[in-house]
Copies of this chain bind each other. A is one copy, B any other.
């Protein structure tokens, strides 16, 4: 049953990517390792050949998801012409598609309150991802003062996270849309 080094690495990557998706969809506590491994096409017994614990996978999956989020927003900003990059980022983050599919979105919005209780390693990884997100947003602002750009970027980023989080909680679809639209209007 042993696999080649290349296959092993592929399997490991597949588990991390599947985990990012499943954690974001069902929550960290709501995702069991057995289900997760099955979703990756494996049985749960092999998990510990790749990771020391669930917590370690959580950290790696969050790192992956943070990177993906930054990449998606950066790509959207550079590919969309005719409007400021900052505007594109806001619209992309506050899009109904992002709200409606948490599995491939930003982990800060899909796992926020769980991350606040996650272990230090996960929180450090996520902090790094947040800083990169803020830097990326700040770069689109093109303000003279870098401190002011960072300040504006932090504010915009936390507002985006709060808006998507609330848009998912709210049981009233109209209110949910209103939250996204209002936030876009205020930030844009």
Which A residues contact B (CB, under 8 angstroms)? Answer: 26-27, 29-30, 102, 108-118, 120, 123-124, 126-127, 130-131, 151-152, 154-155, 157-163, 165-166, 168-172, 175, 178-179, 182-183, 185-186
Contacts and interface: CB of A to CB of B under 8 A. Distances in A.
A157 B115 CA distance: 21
B179 A158 contact: yes
Contacts of A182: 151, 154-155
A62 to B, nearest CB: 10
Contacts of A120: 171
B155 A183 contact: yes
A105 to B, nearest CB: 12
Copies held by the complex: 2
B123 A113 contact: no
A120 B169 CA distance: 10
Given A108-B166, A116-B169, A182-B155, A131 B175 contact: yes
B30 A169 contact: no
A183 B153 CA distance: 10
Given A112-B165, A158-B163, 16 more contacts: A29-B30, A108-B165, A113-B115, A116-B165, A116-B168, A123-B170, A127-B175, A130-B169, A130-B170, A131-B175, A154-B179, A155-B185, A157-B166, A158-B166, A159-B162, A161-B162
B27 A113 contact: yes
Nearest to A115: B169
27 contacts: A27-B114, A27-B117, A29-B30, A108-B169, A112-B165, A113-B165, A116-B169, A123-B170, A124-B171, A127-B169, A127-B171, A127-B172, A130-B170, A131-B175, A151-B186, A152-B186, A155-B159, A155-B185, A155-B186, A158-B162, A158-B163, A158-B165, A158-B183, A159-B162, A159-B163, A160-B162, A161-B162
